[in-house]
């Protein structure tokens, strides 16, 4: 990964990968929604309400996946000082927060007809809400200091400390008695869900993953360009030269 510590090399790679990731995202989400809404059968108990699952479950998976990536990037940044790791964590946090928010909203919509309420303070739901607040805390800390490095370091520490919540979310339905159903896809003994419902979930999960990767590349490119602009402005100030600002007449 140190080969891609060079921003120029990374930008060249991102330019190649971004169109492929974007196309894979559109295909995955399109196929997943098509299969989930029009091909997969209704559940024998939940009826068509179960179709919320095709957005809710992949969103919940992505919430954990993105936070795990942030924790790994934070560890790499703190230990090996990889220059892109901090930026990757910062760029991922809003995306993970979006997936977590989507999981919470769709879960509430699914919970109302199943449980008779939009929200219960059980272990799974509460730990996912904590995850959402961890994302918000990471976003806030990243921009809370005048020195960007201090903000990123504080956010990295928060990400590593908060990672303990990820296994709690995963195993909460096994450790405690909750209303939330246990895992039916990622299990040691294999999925217990019917293939007609499993394939749309897999397609949506892949689509969401490539959607995240696409936006991550876009945000990383923007962060690198902003860093270059800040470095250029700092060098100009240090040399006693102010940036030329365009006026209404087109003159500086």
How many structural domains comprise the chain? 1
Mean pLDDT of all residues belonging to the chain: 87
CB atoms within 10 A of CB 137: 17
CA distance 137 to 131: 10
State the pLDDT at residue 188. Answer: 55
d(CA 105, CA 118): 9
pLDDT digits (tens, 9 = 90+) for 36-67: 999 999 888 888 898 999 999 999 999 999 99
Q: How far apart are CA 41 and CA 47, in angstroms?
A: 9
49 within a domain of the structure (yes/no): yes
Over the stretch 7-33, which tens digit does the pLDDT of each residue have? Answer: 778 888 899 999 999 999 999 999 999
Q: Tell me the pLDDT band of 224, cut-offs 50, 70 and 90.
A: confident
Q: Helix 148-162 and helix 53-80: axis angle, to 10°?
A: 120
Q: What is the pLDDT of residues 118-172, one digit of tens each?
A: 988 989 999 999 999 999 999 999 988 888 889 999 999 999 999 999 999 988 8
- CATH number reported for the structural domain that contains residue 111 in this entry: 1.20.120
Q: What angle do CA 235, 222, 150 make, to 5 degrees?
A: 60
Residue 213 domain boundaries: 18-229
Per-residue model confidence (pLDDT) at position 131: 98
């Amino acid at each position: 990964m140190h080969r891609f510590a060079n921003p120029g090399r990374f930008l060249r790679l991102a330019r190649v990968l971004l169109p492929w990731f974007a196309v894979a995202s559109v295909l995955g989400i399109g196929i997943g929604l098509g299969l989930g809404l029009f091909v997969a059968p209704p559940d024998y108990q939940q009826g068509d309400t179960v179709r919320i699952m095709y957005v809710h479950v992949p969103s919940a998976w992505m919430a954990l996946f993105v936070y795990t990536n942030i924790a790994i990037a934070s560890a790499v940044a703190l230990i090996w000082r990889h220059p892109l790791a901090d930026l990757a964590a910062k760029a991922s946090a809003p995306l993970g927060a979006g997936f977590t928010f989507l999981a919470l909203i769709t879960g509430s919509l699914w919970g109302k007809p199943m449980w008779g309420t939009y929200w219960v303070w059980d272990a799974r739901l509460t730990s996912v809400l904590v995850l959402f607040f961890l994302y918000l805390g990471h976003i806030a800390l990243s921009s809370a200091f005048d020195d960007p490095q201090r903000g990123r370091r504080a956010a990295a520490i928060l990400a590593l400390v908060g990672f303990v919540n990820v296994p709690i979310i995963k195993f909460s339905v096994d450790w405690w008695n909750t209303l939330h159903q246990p895992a039916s896809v990622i299990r040691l003994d294999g999925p217990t869900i019917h293939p007609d419902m499993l394939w749309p979930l897999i397609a949506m999960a892949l689509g969401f993953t490539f959607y995240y990767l696409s936006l991550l590349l876009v945000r990383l490119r923007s962060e690198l360009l902003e860093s270059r602009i800040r470095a250029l402005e700092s060098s100009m100030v240090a040399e006693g030269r102010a940036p030329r600002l365009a006026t209404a007449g087109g003159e500086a």
